[in-house]
């Protein structure tokens, strides 16, 4: 088996789970083996809510919403049950930006709206307008406006240029 065939067979992580070893770009798209890529976010990192917001904001500002999504996903999976709707909604917002930046207008707009609904649901259920300083209402407005823009425009958005401010 040549090197290309070995690399294209199912990659595994140290625990034996299927995990692609292909490098990825800043929007999470796979690149050819051996190409320079963006370092992946480690999975399963347990952070405080404030650490999650800081790291995700850094990634959003850098134009890496796919990676910010992974940070939110860690919080969603490891955080308290009462916060899951918040982190899941934020992860969906980040994936919405990812799709919009990749040129998937319909998927981007749909995920932006779904994420906005998720964080609004969290805010309504727990009466927290600013969990961890996050402007839930402001993010909902931002997501709705961006979803409309994504549907109207023919060009993909620039991820860093449309990144939201999580803490107003």
Give per-residue pLDDT as tens, 110-125.
999 999 999 998 888 7
For residue 42, give the DSSP letter. P
Tens of pLDDT, residue by residue over 84-93, are: 999 999 999 9
Distances (CA, A) of 49 to 76, 93, 135, 165: 10, 17, 14, 16
- Provide the CATH number for the domain formed by 49-162 in this structure: 1.10.3450.10
Q: How confident is the model at residue 77 (pLDDT cuts 50, 70, 90)?
A: very high
Q: Tokens at residue 161, please?
A: 């240029």
Q: How confident is the model at residue 19 (pLDDT cuts 50, 70, 90)?
A: low
Query: What is the per-residue pLDDT for 17?
Result: 67
C-alpha 77/C-alpha 87 separation (Å) is: 9
The pTM is what?
0.85
Share above pLDDT 70 across residues of the chain, in percent, rounded to a whole number: 90
User: Percentages helix, strand, coil for the chain, rounded to the nearest 5?
Assistant: 60, 5, 35
Q: Where are the domains of the chain?
A: 1-40, 49-162
Evaluate if residue 142 carries a pLDDT over 80.
yes
Collect contacts of 49-52 with beta carbons under 8 A, ≥24 apart: 49/75, 49/79, 49/83, 49/131, 49/132, 50/132, 50/133, 52/87, 52/132
C-alpha 61/C-alpha 102 separation (Å) is: 17
Tens of pLDDT, residue by residue over 51-67, are: 999 999 999 999 999 99
For residue 38, give the DSSP letter. B
Evaluate if residue 149 carries a pLDDT over 70.
yes
The residue-averaged pLDDT of 40-56 equals: 90
How far is it between the farthest Cα atoms of the chain?
Answer: 59
Query: What is the per-residue pLDDT for 2?
Result: 47
């Amino acid at each position: 088996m040549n090197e290309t065939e070995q690399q294209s067979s199912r990659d595994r992580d140290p625990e034996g789970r299927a995990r692609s070893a292909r490098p990825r770009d800043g929007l999470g798209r796979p690149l050819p083996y051996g190409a320079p890529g963006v370092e992946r976010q480690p999975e399963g990192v347990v952070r405080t809510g404030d650490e999650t917001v800081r790291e995700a904001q850094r990634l959003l500002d850098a134009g890496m919403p796919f990676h910010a999504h992974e940070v939110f996903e860690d919080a969603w999976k490891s955080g308290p049950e009462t916060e899951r709707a918040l982190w899941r909604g934020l992860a969906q917002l980040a994936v919405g930006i990812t799709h919009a930046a990749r040129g998937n207008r319909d998927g981007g707009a749909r995920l932006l709206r779904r994420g906005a609904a998720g964080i609004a649901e969290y805010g309504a259920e727990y009466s927290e307008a600013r969990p961890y300083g996050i402007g839930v209402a402001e993010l909902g407005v931002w997501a709705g406006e961006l979803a409309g823009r994504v549907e109207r425009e023919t060009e993909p958005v620039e991820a860093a240029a449309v990144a939201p401010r999580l803490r107003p």
